[in-house]
Homo-oligomer: A and B are copies of this chain.
Amino acid sequence: MSASFTLAEIAERCGAELQGDGSRRISGVETLDHAGADQISFFNHARYRKSLRETRAAAVILRPSDAADCPSNMLLTDNPYLVWARVTNCFAPLQVQEAGIHATASVDPNARIDAGAVVAAGVVIGAGAVIEANAYVGPNCVIGREVVLGQGSRLLASVVLMDRVRLGKNCLIHPGAVIGSDGFGLANDQGRWEKVAQLGSVVLGDNVEVGANTTIDRGAVRDTRIHDGVKLDNQIQVAHNVEIGENTAIAACTGISGSTRIGSGCTLAGGVGVVGHIELADGVHVSGASVVSRSLREPGVYTGGVLAMPHKVWQKNIARIKQLDSMARRLRALEKALAQSQDEQDSIKE
């Protein structure tokens, strides 16, 4: 983090309106509470207003409507978190790696590695693979046959791309991710399972991010498809034949079962489960740890589950779940009986 910019440079570069001393030197980012005289911070949520008022940051990114509470220089914007994203990237450590193939990498002679690509130590690349310009293949990654790694895409470390997987441009794949493993296709033969060969592949569009230890299975016949701009967090499981629409973001530990189609612009929070062979419309948002068991054809927020509570409260109440149907029936019976009793009472009164 040795980069340093003037505040005016940052405002210009990140698309915010400068208010204050543009010559102020900024050498890093910090939270409001910890920022010092050469650091920039951001304010995005009312609960941190006290921190804003007391910050010693050199500058703060915030909305014009919050400007009155800021004791410092400001970068004004309607989308502080977006400007913050851009500012953080100004200070991200430079990842300069010399282009070329490390001596310990094992590259098949029939693979085609662009001269501007980096192939790090311990990498293994199969026949027919194509590594495009400015692509980065980090230490100990394994790339199968006929894989295509698009321009500027990066596999950080120990990533496995199985045969024929294709990534677009500027994808970012975190360590331990496996793309193109076999889908879970099994036919039952009198109790024994026989494997269905998984003949499709996986295709990722451009600007896709895949988290650490996430797995994406290859399609059974056709390809599993992850469209442009999709962001997958860590430890997500994407089963065979799944399709995920553009700019959908999925948080960690979510599992998507086979042949399900998820629309574009969706968000799935952490730990979600989605059953197979269903469709989620564009703009569907699923709350954390919810299980989606049927197609959701309308955009909106969907939630399931019973959240944690003190154990004794849970124990006492959850035992009644198995009586719910009986309770509903008895409630209905009571309503009828009471109505009838009322009628009788009325007739007595008459």
Contact = CB atoms under 8 A, between A and B. Distances in A.
B308 A286 contact: yes
A168 interface: no
A13 interface: no
A252 B251 contact: no
Contacts of A199: 1, 28-29, 88, 91-93
A229 B187 CA distance: 12
A311 B85 CA distance: 30
B176 A92 contact: no
Interface in A259-318: 265, 270-271, 273, 275, 286-294, 296, 300-311, 313-318
A270 B91 CA distance: 38
A224 interface: no
A52 to B, nearest CB: 16
> Oligomeric state, in number of copies?
3
A166 interface: no
A110 interface: no
A19 interface: no
A26 to B, nearest CB: 13
A233 interface: yes
B341 A34 contact: no
Interface residues of A, number: 134
Interface stretch (A67-75, A111-119, A129-137, A327-335): A327-335
A331 B323 CA distance: 12
A84 B194 CA distance: 10
Nearest to A340: B342
18 contacts: A82-B187, A85-B186, A106-B122, A120-B124, A122-B122, A142-B158, A158-B178, A160-B212, A176-B176, A213-B213, A255-B271, A257-B288, A290-B307, A302-B308, A304-B305, A317-B323, A324-B324, A348-B349
Interface of A: 1, 28-31, 34, 79, 81-82, 84-86, 88-89, 91-93, 102, 104, 106, 120-122, 124, 138-140, 142, 144, 156-158, 160, 162-163, 172, 174-176, 178, 181-182, 184-189, 191-199, 209, 211-213, 215, 217, 220-222, 229, 231, 233-235, 237, 239, 247, 249, 251-253, 255, 257, 265, 270-271, 273, 275, 286-294, 296, 300-311, 313-325, 327-328, 330-331, 334-335, 337-338, 341-342, 344-345, 348-349
